[in-house]
Amino acid sequence: MLKNYKKEGQKLPLFGVGPYIVYGMAVVNILGIILFGYVFKIGTLELPWTVIFCIIGGLLIVVGVAVWYIGAMRSDMDDSITGNKLQTKGIYSWVRNPMYSGWWLAFTGGLLMWHNACMLILPVIDWLIMTVALINTEEKWLLDLYGDEYAEYKKQVNRCIPWKRRKTT
């Protein structure tokens, strides 16, 4: 299970800025739902778009939960952090931040369930929150801690969108 202890010699916290990133995205999404869905009541789509958005939204929620689960519970990340080792195997060979990516995909899926075209801007805002926060916090910490090893990893693996590892020459 996830723990947030800090053992002697451990360089990084287990949770880092993660909760703040997720809460920030959640607040943006809740405000967007309230504004577009209830206050301004604009952007609501009709059939067949409602069905399309709901199907894609449901799939994104499932994929998001799976990505988060694999990154959080099946990747041995706790051991990597407490052992001060850079995790680059498994899902971490597809995306550098699978736990945040999972939340982002699930939030995007949830937003699509509202079948509102105006809410399509919200995943972009969420992505910006996630990207800016990670660049200014965890990426700096990891670069300081792992140096060239992390710099090379950054060149090969996307920050937030799961994708096959790029080959570098």
Share of the chain above pLDDT 70, in %: 90
pLDDT at 5: 46
Residue 103 CA to residue 11 CA, distance in Å, equals 25
Cα separations (Å) of 37 from 32, 60, 61, 70, 79?
A: 8, 21, 20, 33, 43
Q: Give 3's pLDDT tier (boundaries 50, 70, 90).
A: very low
Tokens of 169: 């020459």
Segment 99-109, tens digit of pLDDT: 999 999 999 99
Segment 74-104, tens digit of pLDDT: 888 877 777 788 999 999 999 999 999 999 9
| Mean pLDDT calculated for residue range 44-61 | 97
Segment 112-143, tens digit of pLDDT: 999 999 999 999 999 999 999 999 998 998 99
Q: Give 168's pLDDT tier (boundaries 50, 70, 90).
A: low
C-alpha 37, offset from chain centre: 24
CB contact at 8 A, 137 and 115 = no
CB contact at 8 A, 90 and 75 = yes
